[in-house]
Amino acid sequence: MQIPTTKHLEQCLVLIVDDDRISAALVATILSNVCRCLTVSSAGEAIMFCQKRVPDLLVVDLNMPGMGGLELCRELKKQRDTENIPIIFITADHEESAQLSCWQSGANDFVTKPLVADTLQHRVKNHLLSKLRLDALMSLSFQDTLTGLFNRNYLKHEYPRLSRQLMRDNQPLGLIIFDVDFFKQYNDSYGHLKGDMCLEKVAGVLSYYSRRARDAVIRYGGEEFVMLLPNTGLSGVKEIAAMIVAEIHQLDIPHKNSPFKRVTLSAGAVSVSDIEKHSLNEVIEQADINLYDAKLRGKNQVVIG
């Protein structure tokens, strides 16, 4: 998972969901001076779109054949990756009960037909600006400034929600702790500026291997990193950890005070299937024990358990 980066309003993407192509085109035209727009013609298409690319906001027609707007909204709010997308309904129903249904489904706002262009523009603009401010705050709260990875605040914030999801789905959690071998000696030899550049390179490799939506890499402290791998058993965790350790070795970053003559990683990995029985500290402690064993066995390797 990636930390949101700040962007300008006109770079925001709004997904318009409406089975009436003329109505969808009208909304896109109204919003063309505010943001970028794409359209889909059904709730099913909207879900598929959001699974591949999360838009900044949805404008949804309330009444559509098959899955309607309310059901679409509820479905998106169930998923972690889409639950925070602002949703604005467009409805021809002026009844109070219809408005209540919009709020109960989790929508952020609604506008009524016939559309007033200025009203729709201002509603969309206000919700997008709020989202951009929230994304910027999240970046400041959860981002490690050197590497761009998540920090420990994110881990503490995210783990309870992630563990609940894994319990509901009866899925394991893989966790790996990586540590740069002989990093103090690296800093002593090459200086802290080179040390920071080394950590940035390591972070880049770790990010490359955390490509699924719910994967996350955290700079846990100094030269130590934690990788969260939901729905990953022990064999998968071992394979990913081994590939990362091998790739760092292949980067061949010179380290004259290492017996390997290059920068290397050690890793301790675990996969926990009964996540409800383990606190975050317990899972990390077990991975840390394995990391310690990897160090004792000569470093530049993975120990699992």
Active-site residue list: 223
How many residues can be counted in the chain? 305
Note the maximum CA span of the chain. Answer: 75
C-alpha neighbours within 13 Å on the C-beta side of residue 16? 23
